[in-house]
A and B are shown apart, each in its own frame.
Chain A
Amino acid sequence: MDMVVLKNVTKFFVTKAFGKVTAVDDVSLNIREGECFSFLGPSGCGKTTTLRMIAGFEDLSSGEIWLGDRPVSIKTKNFYVPPEKRQLGMVFQAFAVWPHLNVYENVAFPLRIQRVSNAEISDQVKQALKHTSLSGLEEKYPSELSGGQQQRIALARAIVANAKVLLLDEPLSNLDPKLREIMRFEIKDLQKKLGLTIVYVTHDQAEAMALSDRMLVMDMGVVQQVDTPTNMYNNPANRFVFSFLGLSNFVPVALHDGLVWPAGSASSSLECEIPEDWDDDRAVLAARPNEIQLTPEGGYRTRIKNRVFLGDYVEYRMDIGDTEIRVQTHEHRDFQVGDVCGVRLGKVKWYPAEDEVSDEERERRKVI
Chain B
Amino acid sequence: MRAGQSLRGSELRRMEGSRFNTGQLLLVISTVILIITVVLPVAMIVYNVFFYKWSFDWSLFASMLTDPDNLAAMWNTVKISFLVTTLGTVVGLFFAWLIGRSDIPLKGLMKSLFVIPYMFPPFIGAMAWGLLLAPRSGYINKMFMALTGGRTPLFNINTLAGIVFVELCYYFPFVFIQVSGALERMDPTLEESARIAGANQMTVIRRITMPLVVPAIAAGAMLILISSLSHFGVPAILGFSNGIFTLPTKIYELIYRASGSFEGIRQGASLSILLVAVVVLALALQRRVLRTGRYDIIRGKSMRPMLIKLRGWKAPLLAVCFVFLAITVILPLFTIFGVGLLKAYGVPMKLANMTLNNFKYVLFESRMARDSIRNSFFLSITSAVITMLVGTMIAYVIVKIQPRGKGVLEVLGILPYSIPGIVLAVGVILTWSGAFYLNLYNTIWIILIAYIARYMAFSMKSASASLEQVHDSLEEASRTCGASHFESLLDVTLPLIRPGMVAGFFLIFLPAMRELTTSLLLYGPFTRTMGVAIYSINEEGYTVQACALAGVAIIIIVLGELLLRFVTRERRGQ
Instruction: Tell me the complex Cα distance, A109–B299, Å.
Output: 21
Q: Which chain B residue lies CB-closest to A90?
A: B196
- Is the pair A82, B198 in contact by a Cβ cutoff of 8 Å? no
Neighbour of A161 across the interface among B194, B198, B212, CB < 8 A: B198
- Is the pair B197, A96 in contact by a Cβ cutoff of 8 Å? no
Q: Mark B280-309, 1 if CB is under 8 A from A, else 0.
A: 000000000000010111011100001000
Contacts of A92 in B (CB 8 A): 189, 192-193, 300
User: Restricting to B165-188, which residues have a CB under 8 Å from any CB of A?
Assistant: 187
User: Restricting to A76-95, which residues have a CB under 8 Å from any CB of B?
Assistant: 82-90, 92-95
The reply on A114 being an interface residue by CB < 8 A is: yes
Q: How far is the CB of A110 from chain B (nearest CB, A)?
A: 4
* A90 touching B199 in the complex, CB below 8 Å, given contacts A99-B296, A100-B212: no
* A113 touching B193 in the complex, CB below 8 Å, given contacts A94-B300, A100-B212: no
The reply on B314 being an interface residue by CB < 8 A is: no
* A98 touching B196 in the complex, CB below 8 Å, given contacts A93-B300, A113-B203, A143-B296: no
Q: How far is the CB of B480 from chain A (nearest CB, A)?
A: 31
Q: How far is the CB of A98 from chain B (nearest CB, A)?
A: 6
- Is the pair A109, B194 in contact by a Cβ cutoff of 8 Å? yes
- Is the pair A114, B196 in contact by a Cβ cutoff of 8 Å? no
* A57 touching B211 in the complex, CB below 8 Å, given contacts A83-B195, A84-B195, A92-B192: no
The reply on B66 being an interface residue by CB < 8 A is: no
Instruction: Tell me the complex Cα distance, A88–B463, Å.
Output: 48
Q: Which chain A residue lies CB-closest to B207?
A: A109
Contacts of A97 in B (CB 8 A): 193
Q: How far is the CB of A55 from chain B (nearest CB, A)?
A: 6
* A110 touching B198 in the complex, CB below 8 Å, given contacts A92-B189, A92-B300: yes
The reply on A154 being an interface residue by CB < 8 A is: yes
- Is the pair A99, B193 in contact by a Cβ cutoff of 8 Å? no
- Is the pair B196, A55 in contact by a Cβ cutoff of 8 Å? yes
Contacts of A89 in B (CB 8 A): 196
Most buried by B among A56, A90, A100: A100
Instruction: Tell me the complex Cα distance, A83–B188, Å.
Output: 14
- Is the pair A157, B193 in contact by a Cβ cutoff of 8 Å? yes
Q: How far is the CB of A361 from chain B (nearest CB, A)?
A: 23
- Is the pair A98, B192 in contact by a Cβ cutoff of 8 Å? no
Q: How far is the CB of A81 from chain B (nearest CB, A)?
A: 12
* A113 touching B199 in the complex, CB below 8 Å, given contacts A92-B192, A96-B193: yes
- Is the pair B293, A100 in contact by a Cβ cutoff of 8 Å? yes
Q: Mark A137-168, 1 if CB is under 8 A from B, else 0.
A: 00000010000000000100110010000010
* A100 touching B211 in the complex, CB below 8 Å, given contacts A92-B300, A113-B203: yes
The reply on B46 being an interface residue by CB < 8 A is: no
- Is the pair A84, B192 in contact by a Cβ cutoff of 8 Å? no
Instruction: Tell me the complex Cα distance, A83–B204, Å.
Output: 12
The reply on B5 being an interface residue by CB < 8 A is: no
Contacts of B190 in A (CB 8 A): 96, 98
Q: Mark B202-218, 1 if CB is under 8 A from A, else 0.
A: 01000110011000000
Q: Which chain A residue lies CB-closest to B292?
A: A100
- Is the pair A84, B197 in contact by a Cβ cutoff of 8 Å? yes
Instruction: Tell me the complex Cα distance, A94–B191, Å.
Output: 12
Contacts of A161 in B (CB 8 A): 197-198
* A94 touching B299 in the complex, CB below 8 Å, given contacts A57-B192, A100-B212, A100-B293: yes
Q: Which chain B residue lies CB-closest to A13?
A: B304
Q: How far is the CB of B13 from chain A (nearest CB, A)?
A: 49
- Is the pair B198, A94 in contact by a Cβ cutoff of 8 Å? no
- Is the pair B199, A100 in contact by a Cβ cutoff of 8 Å? no
User: Restricting to B440-455, which residues have a CB under 8 Å from any CB of A?
Assistant: none
Contacts of B198 in A (CB 8 A): 84-85, 87, 110, 113-114, 161
Contacts of A56 in B (CB 8 A): 195
- Is the pair A94, B199 in contact by a Cβ cutoff of 8 Å? no
Instruction: Tell me the complex Cα distance, A143–B199, Å.
Output: 23
Contacts of A96 in B (CB 8 A): 187, 189-190, 192-193, 300
Instruction: Tell me the complex Cα distance, A280–B353, Å.
Output: 87
Instruction: Tell me the complex Cα distance, A55–B203, Å.
Output: 18
The reply on B200 being an interface residue by CB < 8 A is: yes
- Is the pair B295, A100 in contact by a Cβ cutoff of 8 Å? yes
Q: Which chain A residue lies CB-closest to B192?
A: A57
Contacts of B207 in A (CB 8 A): 109
Neighbour of B301 across the interface among A82, A85, A86, A93, CB < 8 A: A93
- Is the pair B189, A109 in contact by a Cβ cutoff of 8 Å? no
Instruction: Tell me the complex Cα distance, A90–B203, Å.
Output: 18
Q: Which chain A residue lies CB-closest to B302?
A: A94
Instruction: Tell me the complex Cα distance, A174–B187, Å.
Output: 14
Contacts of A93 in B (CB 8 A): 189, 300-301
Q: How far is the CB of B198 from chain A (nearest CB, A)?
A: 4
Instruction: Tell me the complex Cα distance, A345–B265, Å.
Output: 96
* A84 touching B293 in the complex, CB below 8 Å, given contacts A94-B189, A98-B212, A154-B193: no
Contacts of B212 in A (CB 8 A): 98-100
Q: Which chain B residue lies CB-closest to A160?
A: B197
Most buried by A among B203, B208, B212, B301: B301
Q: Which chain A residue lies CB-closest to B191?
A: A96
Q: Which chain B residue lies CB-closest to A100?
A: B211
Contacts of B293 in A (CB 8 A): 100
Q: How far is the CB of B534 from chain A (nearest CB, A)?
A: 43
Neighbour of A113 across the interface among B197, B295, B296, CB < 8 A: B197
* A94 touching B192 in the complex, CB below 8 Å, given contacts A100-B212, A113-B198: no
Instruction: Tell me the complex Cα distance, A231–B300, Å.
Output: 34
Contacts of B299 in A (CB 8 A): 94-95
User: Restricting to B88-132, which residues have a CB under 8 Å from any CB of A?
Assistant: none
- Is the pair B197, A157 in contact by a Cβ cutoff of 8 Å? yes
Q: How far is the CB of B220 from chain A (nearest CB, A)?
A: 18
Q: How far is the CB of B238 from chain A (nearest CB, A)?
A: 41
Q: Which chain B residue lies CB-closest to A110?
A: B197
Most buried by B among A90, A98, A154: A98
Contacts of B197 in A (CB 8 A): 84, 109-110, 113, 157, 161
Instruction: Tell me the complex Cα distance, A99–B211, Å.
Output: 10
Q: Which chain A residue lies CB-closest to B208?
A: A98
Instruction: Tell me the complex Cα distance, A161–B196, Å.
Output: 11
- Is the pair B187, A94 in contact by a Cβ cutoff of 8 Å? yes
Q: How far is the CB of B109 from chain A (nearest CB, A)?
A: 15
User: Restricting to A93-138, which residues have a CB under 8 Å from any CB of B?
Assistant: 93-100, 109-110, 113-114
Instruction: Tell me the complex Cα distance, A95–B296, Å.
Output: 12
Instruction: Tell me the complex Cα distance, A114–B194, Å.
Output: 12
Instruction: Tell me the complex Cα distance, A89–B208, Å.
Output: 18
Neighbour of B196 across the interface among A88, A94, A95, A99, CB < 8 A: A88
Contacts of A82 in B (CB 8 A): 195, 200
Q: How far is the CB of A41 from chain B (nearest CB, A)?
A: 16
Q: Which chain A residue lies CB-closest to B214?
A: A100
Instruction: Tell me the complex Cα distance, A88–B194, Å.
Output: 11
Smallest CB-CB A-B distances: 10 pairs: A94-B300, A99-B295, A110-B197, A96-B189, A92-B189, A83-B195, A90-B196, A96-B193, A113-B198, A100-B211
Return 5 A-B CB contacts under 8 Å, by A number: A82-B195, A84-B200, A93-B300, A98-B211, A158-B196
Query: Which B residues contact A (CB, under 8 angstroms)?
Result: 187, 189-190, 192-200, 203, 207-208, 211-212, 293, 295-297, 299-301, 306
Other CB < 8 Å A-B pairs besides A109-B194, A157-B197, 6 of them?
Answer: A83-B196, A84-B197, A84-B198, A86-B196, A94-B299, A95-B300
